Amino acid sequence: MSSQSRVAAAVTELEIETPSWGYGNSGTRFKVFPQPGVPRDPFEKVEDAAIVGRFTGVARSIALHIPWDRVDDFSMLAAFARERGVRIGGINSNTFQDEDYKLGSLCHPSFEVRRKAVDHILECCDIARQTGSTVVKVWLADGSNYPGQDDFRARRRRLIETLREIYPALPENGRMFLEYKFYEPAFYHTDVQDWGQALTVCQHVGERAQVCVDTGHHAMGTNIEQIVSILLQEGRLGGFDLNDKKYGDDDLMVGSIDPYQLFRICHELVKAQADQLTDPVAHANAREVVYMLDQCHNIEPKLPAVIRSVMNLQEAMAKALLVDLDALRQAQSAGDVLEANRLLKDAYDTDVRPLLASARGLAGLPEDPYVAYLASDEERRRAAARVGGVAAGWQ
């Protein structure tokens, strides 16, 4: 098989989801930096997602965040998206921006606060049904700041009990993604701190409860690709919140800091998709993984940054597709450390951009979506059309 045909899957088969909040105004905890032309409502966010989909060909779904993206008629929003070649992706719950959630949400000591959080996520399940989404995502800011503030095991019991209550309300064939985070905003302990805690909670909840891996939510030096491989083997890898980091949860563009790590993650996914006979669970799981971007464009223009992230992920996946898996297995079986490493490194060092450009051209897409977008009139048109009103943002 030629290199061209091997990398074509990164153009024709890879499906990437963009975040609605990635199109709105954002910034740091000190300042939100407004930009011209950002959406003023969820419908305009969908329009932006459709533009990214048109230029890239692989990003044709948009994740919603509730209540940021609440509308009067979600079925109308879904129809609006379909008319523009976009579908509604994951429904992300928000149990961290209300005064009542100061001490937690699903893990809160108060039954009334837990009830409020449960009802919100049940609403997200209903929105998923209305929009045709098959994913409801749960990320909790729950934790504590001081020893003795609350009981670890009691909080975990509350979490499992509330998620078990929510689970039956998922859409038919829908999945619940539980996301973890090493720290922040709680600094003494976080209730779902790592992949192991998320996995064991999911195992208590149900078969369709899976783990979401945010690539910025780990301690420095964590081997994320090993986490990915284990979750695949358990059949519990739901999806990714893809971004990059230097120090903390930086939410930078995908592959902008450590592209080799992104390649190694993609290698585990490609390898699992090829392991139909030797590991059918991982094979089946790898084929249903959701690749969602989760980045916060503090200073860079919104749409070009999303397009860059899409292209960076495509490049990492294309390089992973170039790895000679048969030769790699032979080197591993022979204990040939240097050859096994060379096979990976040579694939990573390959410049796949010409191959991807050719594959895009054959698919009727711009050979370089980023350059094509910059050469278009989209930025000026959006800025001219979206004057007045209140721009969307997270502050």
- Section 180-188 average pLDDT: 94
Query: What single letter denotes the amino acid at residue 297?
Result: H
395 pLDDT above the threshold of 60:
no
Angstrom distance (rounded) from CA 241 to CA 213: 6
When the pLDDT of each residue in the chain is averaged and rounded to a whole number, the result is 95
224 pLDDT above the threshold of 90:
yes
pLDDT tens track for 12-41: 999 999 999 999 888 777 888 888 989 999
Contact in structure between 292 and 89 (CB atoms under 8 Å): yes
**Residue 78 CB contacts under 8 Å (≥ 6 apart), including other chains:** 87, 88, 130, 131, 132
User: Shortest CA distance to 177 belongs to which of 42, 60, 290, 30?
Assistant: 290
Give me the sign of the Cα torsion angle 282, 286, 292, 296: positive
pLDDT tens track for 282-321: 999 999 999 999 987 788 899 999 999 999 999 999 999 9
Domain 13-317, CATH: 3.20.20.150
Q: Percent of the chain having pLDDT more than 90?
A: 90
Give me the pLDDT at residue 25, please.
85
Rg from Cα positions in the chain: 21
Higher pLDDT, 1 or 30: 30
Angstrom distance (rounded) from CA 255 to CA 312: 6
Angstrom distance (rounded) from CA 142 to CA 105: 6
DSSP 117-131: HHHHHHHHHHHHHHH
Give me the pLDDT at residue 45, please.
97
Confidence bin at 156 (pLDDT 50/70/90): very high
Element (DSSP H or E) covering residue 162: helix 152-166
- CB-count burial class (<10 Å; 0-12, 13-18, 19+) for 250: middle
153 pLDDT above the threshold of 60:
yes
Give me the pLDDT at residue 158, please.
98
Give me the pLDDT at residue 394, please.
63
Domain ranges of the chain: 13-317
DSSP 245-292: -SSSS--BPTTSS-HHHHHHHHHHHHHHHH-TTT-HHHHHHHTT-EEE
What separation, in Å, do the N-terminal and C-terminal C-alpha atoms of the chain show? 50
Angstrom distance (rounded) from CA 214 to CA 242: 6
pLDDT tens track for 53-88: 999 999 999 999 999 999 999 999 999 999 999 999
